[in-house]
């Protein structure tokens, strides 16, 4: 079944309908499911957060940031990326950061790797997990890694085999799954097919990613309505950017599908250097505040994450966008002035 053609104004925003009833009325073809009781938050601030910052954050500050997030209870911290430093200079100190961190029991320390060379560096640094990053649009794939989608999957097949043989867990990212800055709308059936391809390579989960922050709850429901029956909710993570202020609403929509893993960035740091207009990630503090308010467990201390964000903030040279950070900073300032 082919999808109906979207209007030009709807292509990037993802507001096109698929045939039948709207996905907001259908969740996997049935009533909305009860949310999972415990949510796993993958902390991507040290990598996806800092890679796009103009400031060159000192290695020592990065190490302290990772240590603080792990001590807060983050089950996975994406520490850095073993990529070409000429293309992503903020990740040039990946080896030094991994060498300097204090590893906490119960926390997995992950890194992004684009190829066999990056994997070899990651293995030498004693990472816990590696992540490969495919795209759902050809133009973005070429701009990001200078490969077609098919070429990238061939590369990642070899990376996944070698990583698994080395005892590492492999995660997959699927960038531009909700829209591309160059091509606009990305067909949902393509997202499903590429998620399956990544899983076939041996990744344990795929982080389906809203790289430029165009997703909204209706679009999220339509994607998951097709994706969850095809691969299972337990194999899907979601990575949202808050460019249009819809990231938390998107998480709420995804909980209806029993998605239990979400990426977030402390303080709302980040963006993608190869995606024009991709502003900050979903802030970890904002996500935790909402999830804990819903009675969902994460095992992460909200106060400790906020403290980690406040410690890194002077090094990036601007206020971090997390709404929770801003609100609590205002409250604290008001209380001090009242005294």
Which residues are designated catalytic? 272
Do the beta carbons of residue 264 and residue 46 sit within 8 Å? Answer: no
Looking at the DSSP assignment, which residues form a beta bridge with residue 265?
A: 283
Distance between CA 246 and CA 66 in Å, rounded?
27
Do the beta carbons of residue 305 and residue 324 sit within 8 Å? Answer: no
Do the beta carbons of residue 82 and residue 122 sit within 8 Å? Answer: yes
DSSP states along 196-207: HHHHHTT-S-EE
CA dist 65 → 55, 97, 121, 318 (Å)? 15, 10, 22, 16
Looking at the DSSP assignment, which residues form a beta bridge with residue 141?
A: none
Q: What is the DSSP letter of 35?
A: P
Residue 50, both tokens: 């800092």
Q: What is the DSSP letter of 26?
A: -
Distance between CA 136 and CA 206 in Å, rounded?
12
Angle between helices 149-165 and 116-124 (to 10 degrees): 30
Show Cβ contacts of residue 255 under 8 Å, excluding neighbours closer than 6 positions.
35, 36, 294, 296
């Amino acid at each position: 079944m082919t999808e109906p053609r979207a209007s030009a104004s709807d292509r990037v925003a993802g507001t096109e309908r698929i045939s039948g009833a709207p996905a907001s009325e259908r969740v996997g073809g049935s009533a909305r499911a009860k949310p999972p009781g415990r949510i796993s938050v993958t902390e991507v601030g040290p990598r996806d957060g800092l890679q796009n910052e103009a400031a060159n954050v000192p290695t020592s500050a990065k190490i302290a940031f990772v240590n603080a997030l792990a001590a807060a209870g983050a089950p996975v911290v994406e520490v850095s990326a073993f990529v070409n430093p000429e293309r992503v200079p903020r990740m040039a100190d990946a080896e030094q950061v991994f060498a300097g961190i204090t590893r906490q029991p119960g926390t997995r320390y992950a890194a992004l790797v684009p190829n066999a060379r990056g994997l070899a560096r990651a293995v030498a640094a004693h990472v816990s997990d590696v992540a490969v990053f495919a795209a759902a649009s050809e133009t973005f794939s070429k701009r990001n890694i200078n490969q077609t989608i098919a070429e990238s999957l061939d590369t990642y097949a070899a990376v996944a085999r070698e990583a698994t043989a080395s005892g590492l867990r492999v995660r997959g990212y699927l960038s531009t799954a909700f829209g591309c800055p160059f091509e606009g709308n990305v067909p949902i059936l393509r997202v499903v097919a590429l998620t399956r391809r990544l899983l076939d390579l041996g990744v344990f989960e795929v982080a389906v990613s809203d790289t430029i922050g165009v997703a909204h709850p209706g679009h999220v429901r339509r994607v998951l309505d097709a994706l969850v029956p095809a691969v299972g909710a337990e194999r899907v993570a979601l990575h949202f950017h808050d460019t249009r202020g819809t990231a938390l609403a998107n998480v709420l929509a995804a909980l209806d599908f029993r998605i239990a893993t979400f990426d977030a960035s402390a303080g709302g740091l980040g963006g993608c250097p190869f995606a024009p207009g991709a502003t900050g990630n979903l802030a970890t503090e904002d996500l935790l505040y909402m999830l804990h308010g819903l009675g969902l467990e994460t095992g992460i201390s909200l106060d400790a994450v906020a403290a980690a964000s406040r410690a890194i903030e002077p090094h990036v040279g601007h206020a971090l966008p997390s709404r929770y950070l801003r609100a609590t900073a205002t409250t604290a300032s008001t209380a001090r002035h009242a005294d």
